[in-house]
């Protein structure tokens, strides 16, 4: 059985994230979606909320589990028997950073590979930061985040 791990801050989950999750779930026997700590960002949504949002929008994907972890991604992958890290790439600008991270992860855990998956072009401009900013400024984010959690996201961002 091939297990992969798809990490992210998911603050909040966007349609771009969900696209990568759905496509990865078709490729791998088991996919772990891992809410990762990001020390360079201050999340708006709590870890519990992000886990809840992810569980809600992936409930129909039977081979997907939602987890969180502390520490290194490679350690979380090894602990959960995931030998593949899935990273979504929106644009060339993402590649340099993600390539450096993949190289470091390979150094830290030679048994874990990184797979880069191109985001669908219809979501290539999309980021959680952009979603938060648009919503906080009163713009419409329908179609940018999953419908099932749209109202919860807007309510918190405007509340």
Tens digit of each residue's pLDDT (9 = 90 or more) over 74-100: 999 999 999 999 999 988 878 989 999
State residue 38's pLDDT score: 67
Catalytic residue numbers read 17, 41, 90, 128
Kindly report the CATH number assigned to the domain that includes residue 13: 3.40.50.620
Rounded average pLDDT over 18-43: 92
Mean of the per-residue pLDDT values for the chain? 94
Count CB neighbours of 136 within 10 A. 13
Lowest mean pLDDT among 3-7, 21-25, 65-69, 88-92: 88-92
Provide the domain limits for residue 124: 3-158
Count structural domains, the chain.
1
Asked if residue 29 lies in contact with residue 2, where contact means CB atoms within 8 angstroms, the answer is yes
Residue 119 sits at φ, ψ, to 5 deg, of -65, 145
Q: Is the pLDDT of residue 105 over 70?
A: yes
99 DSSP 8-state letter: H
**Over 90: is that where the pLDDT of 143 sits?**
yes
């Amino acid at each position: 059985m091939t297990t992969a791990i798809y990490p992210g801050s998911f603050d909040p989950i966007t349609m771009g994230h969900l696209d990568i999750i759905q496509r990865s779930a078709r490729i791998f026997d088991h996919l772990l979606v891992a809410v990762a700590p990001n020390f360079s960002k201050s999340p708006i949504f709590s870890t519990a909320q992000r886990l809840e949002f992810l569980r809600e929008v992936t409930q129909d994907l039977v081979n997907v589990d939602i987890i969180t972890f502390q520490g290194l991604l490679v350690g979380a992958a090894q602990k959960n028997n995931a030998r593949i890290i899935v990273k979504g790439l929106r644009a060339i600008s993402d590649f340099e950073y993600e390539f450096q991270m993949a190289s470091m992860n390979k150094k830290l855990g030679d048994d874990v590979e990184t797979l880069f998956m191109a985001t669908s072009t219809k979501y290539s401009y999309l980021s959680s930061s952009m979603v938060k900013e648009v919503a906080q400024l009163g713009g419409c984010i329908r179609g940018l985040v999953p419908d099932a959690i749209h109202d919860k996201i807007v309510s918190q961002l405007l509340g």
